[in-house]
Structure 1
Amino acid sequence: MTTLILLRHGRSSANVAGVLAGRTPGVELDEKGREQADKVVERLTGVPIAEIVCSPMLRCEQTVAPLAKDRGLTPVTEDDLAEVDYGSWTGGALKNLAKEPLWKVVQAHPSAAVFPEGEGLAGMQARAVAAIRRHDKRIAAEHGPQALWVACSHGDVIKAVLADALASHLDNFQRIMVDTCSISVVHYTETRPFVNRVNDVGGDLSGLIPAKPKRRRKAPSAQKARSSDAVVGGDTGA
Structure 2
Amino acid sequence: MGVLIGLVRHGSHDDLGTWLSGRTRDVALNAAGRDETATLARRLAGRGVTAITTSPRRRTVETADILGAGLNLTPVLAPDLDEIDFGGWSGQRFADLDGEPDWDRWNAARATAPTPGGETMAAAVARAMHHIDHLAGQGGGPVLCVSHCDVIRGVVAQVLGLPLDNLLRFEIAPASVSWLMAHGQGAGHVLTLNGTA
Deviation at 1:190, TM superposition (A): 6.2
Alignment of structure 1 residues 89-168 onto 2, 5 Å:
89-138=89-138, 140=139, 143=140, 147-168=141-162
**Bigger relative contact order, structure 1 or 2, given CA contacts below 8 A and separation 6+?**
2
Deviation at 1:24, TM superposition (A): 1.8
State percent identity of aligned pairs: 32
SS of the aligned residue for 1:115 comes to: coil
Query: Normalization by structure 2: what TM-score?
Result: 0.93
Q: Which runs of 5 or more structure 1 residues have no equivalent in the other structure?
A: 203-238
Equivalent-residue separation in structure 2 for 1:136 and 1:15 (angstroms): 32
**Corresponding residue for 2:50?**
50
Superposed structure 1 runs of 4+ greater than 6 Å apart: none
The alignment covers a number of residue pairs equal to 195
RMSD value, Cα: 1.5
Equivalent-residue separation in structure 2 for 1:12 and 1:26 (angstroms): 11
Q: Is contact 1:25–1:58 with CA below 8 Å preserved after alignment?
A: no
Q: Is contact 1:105–1:112 with CA below 8 Å preserved after alignment?
A: no
| Code of the aligned partner of 1:65 | D
SS of the aligned residue for 1:189 comes to: strand
Query: Normalization by structure 1: what TM-score?
Result: 0.78
Equivalent-residue separation in structure 1 for 2:38 and 2:184 (angstroms): 34
| Code of the aligned partner of 1:134 | H
Q: Which runs of 5 or more structure 2 residues have no equivalent in the other structure?
A: none
For the structure 1 residues 137 and 82, does the alpha-carbon distance in structure 2 shift closer, same or farther, using more than 3 Å as the test? same
Higher radius of gyration, 1 or 2: 1
SS of the aligned residue for 2:194 comes to: strand
